[in-house]
Amino acid sequence: MSIFSSLIGPDGNLAVVRNTSYELAASFWSGVATHLWESTLFLAFIAALSLCLVRAPGRLRNQLWSLALLKLFLPVSALGWVWERWFGGARLAFDLGPRPVSWLEPVWGAASSNGVSPDTSAVLWIASFAWALVATSLIVRTVRASRSSRPVEARNVTPEQRELLAALADRLGVAKEQIRVSEEVSIPCVAGVLRPKINLPTEALSRPWPELLAVALHEYAHMRRRDPLRLLLQRVAFALYFYYPPIWLVLSQLHRTAELACDEDAVGRGARAADLGRAIARSVRMGLSAPSPVSALGSPHRPLLTERLRRLQSDRRYRPMYYHRAVLVLAAAALTGLTLVPRTSPIDTAIASTGPGKATSSAIEESNFVPPKPIADKMVFPTYPEEYRSEGATGLVLLSVKISDRGIVTSAEEKQGVSGHPAFTESAIDAVTQWVFEPATEDGEAVATEVVLPIKFALD
């Protein structure tokens, strides 16, 4: 008996609640594992493509890594698996499409062919609770940080400084209210998720006009890109995937390429590269002691600083080339394929109630011919063994079933059972041998076939 069974006891209603929550937790983590496997493949693909874009504009490189972040927010195939697994069985019965490419879903076999012990299910449930607790805490902290990162405008701005700000706003083509001077910021930055504004330290107004203009153009690029909102989404992604190491690579590359993109945009709008380089160096020196929590000009990260200054000193301009766009389109196509193309099981599923328990049955497609399909009113569903009810055991039995060209089951043998629970296999064989199928056909002719039939047992 499971060590967790004693915590609840043999009471039927409590056992149903316990086992349902355990099953949902196991299903959730199986879906998450499938999604992360797909995401890891996609991130490796993005990393390889990024090597082809070393000399591409920062904007295009940022778009490439934005696709990687988008993939983490689009676990459509994993969510589709959970939906199909738990809510869509009867409606989707025997119409789940073709066999997927196996290396795209390595988790499916383990999730589908083995029963999950109550102890393992309990551990997964605890992991789900811990993940939800940590993720919620990080999201709350992110929301609070976004609200608190609104610098207060300085009150002692002189008329000369206001004229300078007005000239700066006129040069950028924005309203004067969108450029503020604040004593709370040490380096130029952009703050405001929904209404971003450029925030300048008071000392910035004493800089030479060319350097001030370069600073403002760089921050204007952050404002046009709505980088505070992007940063909020990145922090939410970290809150959801804090346990997933590749998330650090995605976030660091998004930060790096965003700064490069804004440098190039500023130079393209009239800032001199030398002035922008001096502004970056000055902002880094000032920001080392008090880094800004929002999108800012200065970054003390040495490799990024070196790359930014090197690109600014280069005579060549980073313009998008044809093959740069082709690489981006290729990445978008890969994202669509890994996310939107259905990741259906190779198993055709039908779900029916059996009173106190439930069983899930499926037929695996073996080739391109039309597989057999059970006749609904000829299906006898397995009975959940009473001796396992107090234990709350669950599991999945695989039967090797031979079906004649008349659709009659001629034999059913255990291919894989549930360890320590032989009654599951006996119940499954007793039921399946009574089934009648629409026979498999090949070139329009009925043929005998052999299929693997999964039968899942769980308390209802």
Domain ranges, ordered by start, for the chain: 1-137+315-344, 149-244+256-301, 346-460
What architecture is the 346-460 domain classified under in CATH? 2-Layer Sandwich (3.30)
Q: Hey, what are 59's tokens?
A: 């904007």
**Beta-strand pair 395-403/347-354:** unpaired
CA distances from 224 to 123, 143, 154, 406, 408 (A): 46, 22, 24, 68, 68
Are residues 40 and 249 in contact, defined by beta-carbon separation less than 8 angstroms? Answer: no
Q: Hey, what are 399's tokens?
A: 């039967």
Over residues 296-354, the pLDDT tens digits come to: 555 556 677 778 888 887 755 566 566 677 777 777 777 776 665 544 433 333 322 23
In this prediction, residue 390 carries a pLDDT of 78
Are residues 380 and 428 in contact, defined by beta-carbon separation less than 8 angstroms? Answer: no
Chunked into runs of 10 residues, the chain (460 residues) has average pLDDT values of 41 57 74 84 88 82 90 68 44 31 37 51 82 92 76 72 89 88 82 87 87 92 92 93 93 92 90 87 64 51 76 68 72 70 41 34 50 86 84 83 91 86 89 90 87 80
State the Cα–Cα distance between residues 206 and 202, nearest whole angstrom: 8
In this prediction, residue 338 carries a pLDDT of 62
In this prediction, residue 112 carries a pLDDT of 39
Are residues 62 and 257 in contact, defined by beta-carbon separation less than 8 angstroms? Answer: yes
Helix, strand or coil for residue 424?
helix
Are residues 304 and 254 in contact, defined by beta-carbon separation less than 8 angstroms? Answer: no
Are residues 110 and 31 in contact, defined by beta-carbon separation less than 8 angstroms? Answer: no
In this prediction, residue 235 carries a pLDDT of 93
DSSP line for 280-332: HHHHHHHHSSS--SSEES----HHHHHHHHHHHH-SS-----HHHHHHHHHHH
State the Cα–Cα distance between residues 372 and 283, nearest whole angstrom: 70
Are residues 343 and 96 in contact, defined by beta-carbon separation less than 8 angstroms? Answer: no
